[in-house]
């Protein structure tokens, strides 16, 4: 596959299936950055990814079970940061990355 075809395939301006995936990944990355910025500096690197499910559950993926324990104390801050960013989330679940 040529480079130009690959760029066109991953172009988020297209309406194809891959554009949806690229846009969703971008939104998840933005949400992750917003949530990390709401935490104390020592906790920011603990968040690997974040997402909001259709039912309004904010899911935060962290690096280890130790970080999960610490981040569970920060759920109010995380929900407030999501709300301030215009994201409608009513509960927060902290999960540990499987890798």
pLDDT at 91: 96
pTM of the model: 0.80
Residue whose structure tokens are 């990814």: 49
* Each residue's pLDDT tens digit, 21-53: 888 899 999 999 999 999 999 999 999 999 999
Task: Look up the CATH architecture of domain 3-96.
Answer: 2-Layer Sandwich (3.30)
State the chain's mean pLDDT as an integer. 88
- Predicted confidence band at 98 (pLDDT cuts at 50, 70, 90)? confident
pLDDT above 70 coverage of the chain, percent? 82
Cα–Cα dist 7/93, whole Å: 35
């Amino acid at each position: 596959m040529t480079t130009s075809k690959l760029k066109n395939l991953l172009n988020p301006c297209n309406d194809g299936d891959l554009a949806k995936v690229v846009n969703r990944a971008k939104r998840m990355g933005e949400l992750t950055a917003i949530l990390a910025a709401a935490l104390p500096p020592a906790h920011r690197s603990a968040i690997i990814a974040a997402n909001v499910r259709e039912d309004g559950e904010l899911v935060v993926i962290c690096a280890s079970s130790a970080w999960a324990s610490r981040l569970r104390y920060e759920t109010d801050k995380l929900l407030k940061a999501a709300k301030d960013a215009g994201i409608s989330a009513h509960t927060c679940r902290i999960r540990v990355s499987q890798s």
